[in-house]
Structure 1
């Protein structure tokens, strides 16, 4: 029930001068990532000032670095004291107290339209799977997911995404990753429990309880099998209208309920 290791240091030393430039860069990257765990935590303070002006609430937020911690290992890209991170502003918020009166010096009224979220790229999709907790509203589930690897693991996430492309649930448009019609229709058709990350959080908490000897393996497996059987029953009862078959993959056609004959 414990983690498996992909790369770990050994007692054997080697002459790194024999490495090529590319090999040396990779070695240094791996070494820095490994050393991070032994450094202090990166600490920052979140600040927020709420100001009421003429009945309107104006909010300003800021993050101040308290200690760089492990980020000192990445001085060229990640040292926040050099303002390389957009989340941390060089301009500091004033020290204010609750109820303190302030004067509005200037104001601008700007008319804008909201824009939809950007499409995922390979990098942002992997990041979203790792930080899946940010897409969850339930505080208890969010807490569990924050303490896990998210959806999948470092070893399986790329394979999961590749399989979604292979089954034509996802497609590429330039660098953007977009859901296909069949992908969207499948999400809509499946039971809600199967398309939200709550189940992952529930299983992770139970697996942690097993590793701590607070729960028996059989106590985890029996309700899991019952739950899977119920989900399969619900899936079988779904009325998948407008489906066609491409190869061995079923696709939604969306042609007003009529079926299109497959040419493959």
Structure 2
């Protein structure tokens, strides 16, 4: 059977909905260590964004605008505003949706989000390499070798303690490299996303959010270093947490610490005055 346009796994039956969005070169499996605890309290929707995991390889450009449309369709039938938890690319998609449809978002968790301190030169340089060249360079390498190699390299970059990764977690970093076509898709998506990120005013968007926001970083993040947190101004509804023994994917490196920060944030009610201003029921 062909892959669905957007693959979504649902768990939990709570009265409030939490949507989990993965990062680049990843899929919904990245949430395997925290999803069960979230599902004990909430209805949880784990999304494979288009171009990744079990979702269809078809994607539209601009990629981030496409992901905003995907989220809008996903929560269209959910009567109450949802909370979004995004990691890396998923954090940017969450931020964009929260910025464009604030009435549909109750709270937002942005984990190891790129863009606050600009885009690393290596990212921009990589995006400028013609796809034909990168494809040609990878052609002589058998796809299984390519899958294992890229998956291992990305896992090492994304987590602080890769030796602690079990088979299910490692699969989350290799599933998108099953064949040449998938590798080509990732290269194309990545090239577009980096260009789009460079044009987004990420810092200004964070400070303009009209809902409680929790920004998380792993202290050992090699991809989007935690020093970017210094660019986030403190605010009444804005909190920053650095998780000591974690890298770019704190939900994998330090799931207990991740949940210690996220669950109280999600559980905390919205003050009645602010709820009325946004047309939400007081909590």
TM bucket by the smaller chain? under 0.3
Q: Which has the larger radius of gyration?
A: 1
Report the structure, 1 or 2, having the larger helix content: 2
**TM-score, normalised with respect to structure 1:** 0.21
Q: Which has the higher contact order (CA 8 A, sep 6+)?
A: 2
